[in-house]
Amino acid sequence: MTSFLEKIESNIREMRRVRIEFCRKRRQASEYQRQEFNVWRSSSEAYDLIVFQLEKLGYICPICQQDLNETNATIDHLFPLSRAYHKAMDTSNFLVMCHRCNKKKYNTPFQQWRGQLARYQKNSLDYAIQLIHGKTKLQELIGSSSEP
């Protein structure tokens, strides 16, 4: 009996060790992607992406409708970096918005964050995503839930 319990305890210790190592490697990958994004953020390619999205959006934040320009616009990751670090450099995961709205979203999952918005903000956000990324991207983000 003792041998059996010792084996179970040994297996549990090994599973914990593997999980800790997995989390450490995932954190390192996430940090690397974040650093890569921060370098890219100051590039001419990032500037061009911001201008492109601002022009499509009429130079307004797709959430609060405040005026935006190249200097006060931020790039939001629709799938948060903390939950989808592999999408750090995926431009189909980017949406320009004001700093305040981006800060409010923080690392909240998209569906949860969208659910917290007022109806007019949801409509504006949905329109912006369709305009920038297409209807398929919007459907991917909101899932298969059917909303009015």
Question: By mean pLDDT, which of 26-40, 59-73, 91-105 is the weakest?
Answer: 26-40
Residue ranges per domain, the chain?
Answer: 2-142
Give the per-residue pLDDT at 60: 97
* Full DSSP string of 70-86: TTTEEEEESS-TTT-GG
Residue 141: partners with Cβ closer than 8 Å, 6 or more residues away? 78, 79, 110, 111, 114, 129
Q: Could you tell me the pLDDT band of residue 24, with boundaries at 50, 70 and 90?
A: confident
Q: At what angle do helices 44-57 and 2-41 cross, to 10 degrees?
A: 80
pLDDT for 51 beyond 90: yes
Comparing 82 with 49, the larger pLDDT belongs to 49
Average pLDDT over all residues of the chain: 88
- In one-letter notation, the amino acid at residue 8 is I
- In one-letter notation, the amino acid at residue 116 is Q
